[in-house]
């Protein structure tokens, strides 16, 4: 990320938060017009454009849930795009009768009005349940199928798909292809083997590949993964500017996460300290995509006055 653009992020964040004191307060979520993430060359064009033009954006973990907006729900997706141009990271599971749907946990108890193991239920039973928000309150939201979610996102944003153990990669890729959504999804992989399998199933797929060191990246290339299809996941422990710089030299965008357990994540540290300018500082070190549990607050902290104009070149636009 260029020093000029990074500096503009920090200055913009400081101006936004200055009225709230030295460290600032959490920006209030709110939308003055819904955003779309829709590069004319799809997700390949998007991630290349971000890296080339030194533009950072947000990835909303589990879609960006909030009070009354459960994780992995259409309501969460609507609210997130209402306040930020974001990639939506979602979890894909499968029912006993083979229907793909969005749910993170193996069990139903925490996030739905049901109980038991989700993969042991048929879809008609899962479809009758309501989703609960993070405070355990029942909402009017139902569990979306993957097909419904892909249809909802067409022309609006990109999904990052975290495929759970109950779902077959073959079925997920086929559903994406049936929806005509190949150019608007990123597949998450946790090993080179998983990445290679996904690459074989969809030869145009963009793959999130774990890159803790530059050697990890080189091993991915040696394993036959096309460089142009790799999005480097660099973890969620601490930013590593040296690694970001080396990835930039190879024209590869880096994704870094501030998400994680509520007691230990960087998101939680920032919330406790009240220093929301830290998001801009992290981005300034060379992060192209920031994955977070609080997408609206993080976006407001990194988006300077020129962001909307600069980001439009990559298809990030407010309606």
Known catalytic residues are 61, 104
Question: Which distant-in-sequence residues (6+ apart) come within 8 Å of 32 by Cβ?
Answer: 318
Beta bridge partners of 318: 35
The total of other beta-carbon atoms located within 10 Å of residue 250's CB is 14
Report how far residue 43's alpha carbon sits from residue 37's, in angstroms, rounded to the nearest whole number.
9
**CA-atom Rg of the chain in angstroms:** 19
Distance set, CA 16 to CA 21, 30, 283, 299, 317 (Å): 11, 14, 16, 11, 20
The total of other beta-carbon atoms located within 10 Å of residue 155's CB is 9
Phi-psi region of 24 (alpha: psi -120 to 50; beta: other; left: phi over 0): left
Q: 215 — phi, psi (to 5°)? A: -60, -35
Question: If residue 317 lies in a helix (H) or strand (E), which one and from where to where?
Answer: strand 316-318
The total of other beta-carbon atoms located within 10 Å of residue 37's CB is 25
282-304 burial, b at 16+ Cβ within 10 Å, e below that, comes to bbbbbbbbbbbbbbbbbbbbbbb
Report how far residue 232's alpha carbon sits from residue 123's, in angstroms, rounded to the nearest whole number.
34
């Amino acid at each position: 990320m260029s020093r000029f653009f990074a500096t503009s992020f920090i200055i913009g964040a400081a101006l936004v938060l200055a009225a709230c004191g030295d460290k600032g307060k959490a920006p209030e979520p709110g939308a003055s017009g819904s955003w779309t993430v829709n590069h004319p060359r799809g997700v390949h064009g998007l991630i290349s454009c971000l890296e080339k033009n030194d533009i950072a954006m947000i990835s909303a973990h589990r879609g960006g849930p909030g009070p009354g907006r459960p994780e992995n729900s259409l309501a969460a997706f609507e609210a997130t795009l209402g306040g930020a141009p974001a990639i939506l990271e979602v979890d894909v599971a499968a029912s006993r009768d083979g229907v793909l749907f969005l749910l993170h946990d193996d069990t139903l108890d925490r996030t739905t009005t049901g109980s038991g193991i989700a993969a042991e239920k048929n879809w008609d039973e899962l479809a009758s349940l309501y989703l609960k928000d993070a405070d355990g309150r029942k909402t009017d939201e139902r569990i979306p199928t993957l097909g419904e979610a892909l249809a909802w996102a067409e022309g609006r944003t990109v999904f990052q798909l975290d495929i759970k153990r109950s779902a077959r990669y073959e079925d997920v890729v086929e559903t994406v292809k049936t929806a005509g959504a190949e150019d608007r999804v990123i597949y998450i992989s946790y090993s080179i083997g998983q990445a290679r399998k996904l690459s074989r199933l969809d030869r145009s797929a963009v793959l999130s590949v774990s890159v803790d060191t530059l050697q990890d990246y080189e091993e991915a290339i040696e394993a036959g993964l096309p460089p142009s299809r790799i999005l480097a996941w660099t973890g969620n422990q601490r930013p590593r500017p040296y690694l970001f710089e080396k990835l930039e030299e190879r024209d590869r965008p880096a994704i870094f996460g501030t998400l994680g357990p509520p007691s230990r994540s960087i998101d939680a540290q920032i919330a406790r300290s009240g220093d929301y300018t830290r998001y801009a500082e992290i981005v300034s070190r060379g992060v192209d995509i920031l994955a977070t549990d609080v997408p609206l607050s993080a976006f407001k902290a990194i988006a300077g006055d020129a962001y909307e104009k600069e980001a439009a070149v990559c298809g990030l636009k407010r309606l």
